Chains A and B, each alone.
Chain A
């Protein structure tokens, strides 16, 4: 049945679609990025603006991931283990960042922290800049990746065998010890998955960051913003090179994650 004519048509047409839509553009980018040669590739990457943009992207992503690992786990914990007023509403709203367009996210943050807002002026007076400064980027990333760790940890927490925790309690362990020695070891793969996905997403985030970052080349210009800038100014090769680096990083993370998960199942 798998090789009957209709099945074959289905297979070939869908694979063709996949090929044209995904494989073709990716191949085009990679080949064109390396076409002028390895040396030129290296030059484009080490260009001070490009290099800084890449560093900024990774740094902000790392900060975001560190915060998210803790807050995301804590949020999942609270949602699964406790009851409190407004819980079901909050649970439903966790996915809001998945649904909201990134430009709108950026605009939300500008509305809240921008120079023309009350909060923004108060913070500005104390010297705490959010918009047009690096903290703004981290904030945007935090919003956009908020659900990743939570939704990764939640199902695992729900499945966990409470008996193990209760057994530890009967053996004298206090709540923090129970978490550290019994719950966390079971939980950390899902935390890792969530943070890996969040990190990968953060590397490529544009819409919200461009609204919030203000486009200052050696200060607040992230990788994707640099790519966009180079496309606009006609430096397509520079754009492609940095794109290739960002792509490789994202893909690398996802592939590693996949392999680890598969290894665990076996």
Chain B
């Protein structure tokens, strides 16, 4: 008489390889978890009070305010663009559509430093557009508009890429039904289209926000790396780590990491919603 007890395995033909699981989990812990904990440890090394003071220092607060401002602006603009362009890509046919589709993905392939360089070439004081703008008295590069542009560039694809597949899945039928029932274009969009793509949209927006908060390389180039220049949170971290009071850098890093973590949880939840959505609608 034999007895094979225990939990039901996912697959009996691959017996659980504890060694493999162990290696994988260890790799994850060593690569991802431990550095995260090390950061928290370093930041709180001197105690909670100095950590708190570092966060509330005026430099840090100004940096975060700028980051939030730029993030907000970039997110709004690229969400509008993303929604609009997704509609154009999915619902319209025109010459060059596939090309445009490809161009949207380009910012993913560009290093942030190179992105910054490109923007300086175009908008710098001697740049293609920059010179004309300068004569109008508008400084783009080495000032916050340039930073917004840089952030817009690196976060351009997110909303488009997340909305397009959901929009495709959603299908034109419901919109057509709405129109046969007399709904105008705007109402159809608001009451029929938008609700059906809301999870994909939310996911795209979350990715955009996360990316904007973390942008560094392009901002470094575009802001000119001069002493006393306007800093975002990431630039603040870079500048203070070299100096005599690195606690500021660690403190700000922990804050940014914390915000990223919250965004991450949001991303995970939304990802599940989008998956459920897609599998449900393909029935």
Contact = CB atoms under 8 A, between A and B. Distances in A.
Task: Tell me whether A and B are bound partners.
Answer: yes
B88 A10 contact: yes
A240 interface: yes
B135 interface: no
A24 B109 contact: no
A188 interface: no
A83 B10 contact: yes
B268 A11 contact: no
A25 B109 contact: no
B76 interface: no
Contacts, number: 256
Interface in A83-108: 83-84, 86, 90, 92-105, 107-108
A7 B189 CA distance: 13
A234 to B, nearest CB: 12
Identify which of B85, B91, B111, B120 gathers the most chain A CB atoms within 10 Å of its CB.
B111
Contact of A207 (B10, B93, B234): B234
Given A162-B11, A169-B13, A206-B216, A103 B103 contact: no
B194 interface: no
Interface in B86-120: 87-88, 91-94, 100, 102-120
B11 A165 contact: yes
Contacts of B238: 103, 210-211
A28 B31 CA distance: 39
A95 B249 contact: no
Contacts of B41: 111
Contact of A204 (B105, B114, B256): B114
A103 B7 CA distance: 44
B11 to A, nearest CB: 6
Interface string A201-239: 001111100110000000000011001100110001001
A26 B108 CA distance: 13
Contacts of B214: 99-104, 207
Contact of B121 (A25, A74, A97, A142): A25
A13 B210 CA distance: 26
A15 B13 contact: no
A78 interface: yes
Given A82-B10, A165-B13, A247-B109, A93 B35 contact: no
B112 A204 contact: yes
Contacts of B138: none
A17 B156 CA distance: 10
Given A21-B152, A107-B241, A97 B32 contact: yes
Interface in B226-268: 234, 237-238, 241, 249-250, 253, 256-257, 260-261, 263-265, 267-268
B276 interface: no
16 contacts: A25-B122, A25-B153, A28-B122, A71-B24, A81-B11, A92-B268, A99-B261, A103-B216, A103-B234, A142-B31, A143-B31, A175-B14, A207-B112, A207-B217, A224-B217, A228-B217
Nearest first, the 10 closest Cβ-Cβ pairs linking A and B are: A204-B111, A101-B214, A25-B118, A108-B35, A112-B38, A99-B260, A111-B42, A206-B217, A250-B109, A207-B216
Interface of A: 2, 6-7, 10-11, 13-15, 17-18, 21-26, 28-29, 32, 71, 74-75, 77-78, 81-84, 86, 90, 92-105, 107-112, 117, 119, 139, 142-143, 146, 162, 165-166, 169, 175, 178, 200, 203-207, 210-211, 223-224, 227-228, 231-232, 236, 239-240, 243, 246-247, 250-251, 254, 258
Interface of B: 7, 10-11, 13-17, 20-21, 23-25, 27-28, 31-36, 38-39, 41-42, 81, 84-85, 87-88, 91-94, 100, 102-122, 127-129, 149, 152-153, 156, 185, 207, 210, 213-217, 220-221, 225, 234, 237-238, 241, 249-250, 253, 256-257, 260-261, 263-265, 267-268
